[in-house]
Amino acid sequence: MTEDESTQDDPVFPPVQRTTVSSGKDALAEAASIKTLGGRFLALWGTEHPEPHVYAAFSDADGLRVLRTPVDVKTGTFPSIASLFPLASRPERTVRDVSGWTPEGLADTRPWLDHGLWKGPSSQKEGDYPFVRVEGEGVHEIPVGPVHAGIIEPGHFRFQVIGEKVLRMEERLGYTHKGIRALARNRPVEDVLPLSGRISGDSAVAYQWAWSQAVEQATQTFPPERALWLRAVLLERERIANHLGDLGALGNDAGFGFGLVQFGRLKEDLLRANERIFGHRYLMDAVIPGGVRKELGEEEIPLLLEDVRRLREGVRSLKTIYDEHGGLQDRFSGTGVLDPMLAGAWGLGGIVGRASGQLLDLRHDHPVRPYDRERVPVALAKRGDVWARVQVRFQEIRHSLAFLETVLPALPGGSWKAPLRQCGGGAEGFGRIEGFRGEILVWAQMERGNIVTDAHFHDPSWQLWPALERAIPGNLVADFPLINKSFNPSYSGHDL
C-alpha cells in the first residue's frame, strides 16, 4: 500500500489524499477503515490508463480521499464496496457495463446504464429489465416513462401500489447516456471545456469550475485572485437561478400557478442580466482553466448589486406567500420524508441532505478561495419533507444574495486569467465544487502537451436518485411529481 499527498493547504485546489492498494483484500480493509472513521462515499469509476484501476472517492474531515484499486487482469474483477457503502452499487454496475470488469461481492447484478443496445458485456435484451415487484392482494403496478408528457429527459419509473398509496418505487435510467468520457479522451484540454459546461446545463458554472480545478491541479496553474472571486460570483448566480426555478415549479406542482409565474419572472430577469453582462444566459464557457473568460467591468458591478436588491425584495414577498398559503402547507408538509437517519448513514449532502439535518456544504466544510475568506452559512432543516427542501432553497437564496452583496464591491484587482502551464507526463488533478444540487467531483488525467487521456465527471444525482426511491413509499401516487421536483435530480448529469 502506498500513499501520496497532494496540496493540502492550498486554497485554490481541494485537499486530496490518494491511497493505492495492491489487492482486493487491502481495498476492502481500507474502505472499511474509511467508513469507521466517518468517511462518506462520493463516486466510483474505472480507468484503463496506464493500467486497469478502479477509483473510489470519499469525503472525510481532511478533504477528498481517493482509493485506487487494481483490476485483477486474469479474472477481470475488482472488489465491490457496496456492502460498506450502498450508494456504490450503481457506479459499480456502471463500471461493469462500460468496461466489462465484474465487481466481486456485489449483490445486485443487473445492468445499469446498458439497455442491451451496446456491444458490451451485458446479456440483457432491450427492454428486458428485471424490476423488483411487490406481491400481495390488491397490489398493482404502474409504469411511468421513459417518455414523459413534458420536455424533461427520459427516465422510467415502476410503482408498486395498493389503492393510492405507493409501496415501492424503482427507477431505470441511462436513456440519455452521452459518452462524455469517450468524447474527452485524447483531446487537447481546451477541447474538453465546452463538454464540461454542457454535462448538465443547469450546472454549467459548477462543472466548469470543477473541471478547471482538476486541470489547474494537474498543471500546477494558479488562477489570479480576482478570477477566483469572479468564479464565486458566477456560481452563486447559477445557484440562485436554479433555486428560483425550482421554487416556482414546486408551487405549480402543488396547484399554485401564481408561484410558477412570479418565480419564473425573477429567474428570467436574472438570466437576461447574465446574458447582458457575462455573455450567456446559463453562463456556459464563463469559467476556463486559468481564470474566467470575461472580465467584469466596474460599470457592471452596480447593475449586479441592483439585481441583488430586486431579487431580495421579490423573494422575500414570495416567501411570505408560500409560508402562509394553506394549500401549499397541506401539500408540502409531511410529504416525501427522507429519514435523517438514512441521510446521515448515506452521507447525503446538497439540498436533500441539508433538508434532512446533514450539516454538509463544501463552501463551509472544505472551502476554496474565496469561500475561505467570505464564509457562507449552511442552510439547514431537519424534517426531511418537501417543505424542508423548500425552506433550504429559500435560505440558500438569502445566503447567496448576502454573499454577492458583500463580495461585489470588494473584488480584488489584478488580472482575471493566467496562462495554462504545461503538465508533465502522467499528471492528474481533482476538482470539487458545491453546485446547487450538491457536490460535483471531476477527475482529469493528462499527458505532455496538455492532452487529456481520461476524465470522470460525477454529478450529485448519483446520490439523489437512490434517495428519492426511499422517500416515495407511503405517499400517494399523485404526490410523486411534487416529491421528485423537490429532489430535482439530473437525468443528463447522471447518464454520462
One domain, residues 412 and 296? yes
Residue 221, in any domain of the structure: yes
Q: How far apart are CA 244 and CA 105, in angstroms?
A: 43
Residue 422, in any domain of the structure: yes
- Neighbour tally for 139: CB within 10 Å: 14
Per-residue pLDDT of 355-365, as tens digits, reads 999 999 999 99
Residue 50: per-residue pLDDT: 85
Residue 125: per-residue pLDDT: 57
Q: Which position has the higher pLDDT, 115 or 299?
A: 299
Residue 198, in any domain of the structure: yes
Classify 39 as helix, strand or coil. Answer: coil
Return the percentage of the chain with pLDDT > 70, whole number: 96
Classify 458 as helix, strand or coil. Answer: strand
* 408: pLDDT strictly greater than 60: yes
* 135: pLDDT strictly greater than 80: yes
Identify the domain boundary among 65, 85, 104.
104
One domain, residues 70 and 209? no
Average pLDDT for residues 291-306, to the nearest whole number? 95
One domain, residues 407 and 259? yes
Per-residue pLDDT of 65-94, as tens digits, reads 999 999 998 999 999 999 999 999 999 999
Identify the domain boundary among 63, 86, 104.
104
User: Can you state the angle between helices 301-324 and 225-253, rounded to 10 degrees?
Assistant: 30
One domain, residues 422 and 324? yes
One domain, residues 335 and 214? yes
Cell of 24: 482486493
CATH code assigned at 9:
3.30.460.80
* 493: pLDDT strictly greater than 90: no
How does residue 6 score in pLDDT terms, banded at 50, 70 and 90? very low
Cα of 119 vs its chain's centroid, Å: 29
Classify 152 as helix, strand or coil. Answer: coil
Residue 7: per-residue pLDDT: 44
Q: How far apart are CA 229 and CA 232, in angstroms?
A: 5
Average pLDDT for residues 133-144, to the nearest whole number? 89
Range of the domain at 64: 2-104
Per-residue pLDDT of 423-434, as tens digits, reads 888 899 999 999
One domain, residues 209 and 93? no
Lowest average pLDDT, out of 128-132, 312-316, 483-487, goes to 128-132
Per-residue pLDDT of 274-298, as tens digits, reads 999 999 999 999 999 999 999 999 9
- Contact between residue 251 and residue 258 where contact means Cβ atoms under 8 Å apart: yes
CATH code assigned at 334:
1.10.645.10
One domain, residues 66 and 199? no
Number of separate domains in the chain: 2
Q: Which residues pair with 161 in a beta bridge?
A: 140, 166
* 3: pLDDT strictly greater than 70: no
Cβ contacts of residue 164 below 8 Å, gap of 6+?
A: 476, 477, 478
- Contact between residue 292 and residue 231 where contact means Cβ atoms under 8 Å apart: yes
Residue 179, in any domain of the structure: no
Q: Which position has the higher pLDDT, 129 or 269?
A: 269
Residue 494, in any domain of the structure: no
One domain, residues 281 and 426? yes
Residue 483: per-residue pLDDT: 97
Residue 126: per-residue pLDDT: 53
Average pLDDT for residues 296-319, to the nearest whole number? 96
One domain, residues 247 and 98? no
Residue 120: per-residue pLDDT: 59
Q: How far apart are CA 183 and CA 194, in angstroms?
A: 11
Identify the domain boundary among 72, 104, 136.
104
One domain, residues 207 and 86? no
How does residue 5 score in pLDDT terms, banded at 50, 70 and 90? very low
Residue 162, in any domain of the structure: no
Classify 280 as helix, strand or coil. Answer: coil
Q: How far apart are CA 182 and CA 179, in angstroms?
A: 5
Residue 304, in any domain of the structure: yes
Cell of 346: 448515506
Residue 370, in any domain of the structure: yes
Per-residue pLDDT of 215-252, as tens digits, reads 999 999 999 999 999 999 999 999 999 999 999 999 99
Helices (H), 254-334: 257-278, 301-324, 326-332
One domain, residues 203 and 57? no
- Contact between residue 285 and residue 194 where contact means Cβ atoms under 8 Å apart: yes
Q: What are the C-alpha distances in Å from 174 to residues 91, 158, 305? A: 12, 15, 41
Q: How far apart are CA 349 and CA 356, in angstroms?
A: 9
Average pLDDT for residues 93-106, to the nearest whole number? 94
Q: How far apart are CA 277 and CA 271, in angstroms?
A: 10
Mean pLDDT computed over every residue of the chain: 93
Q: Tell me the CB-side half-sphere exposure of residue 2, using CA atoms within 13 A.
A: 4
One domain, residues 79 and 195? no
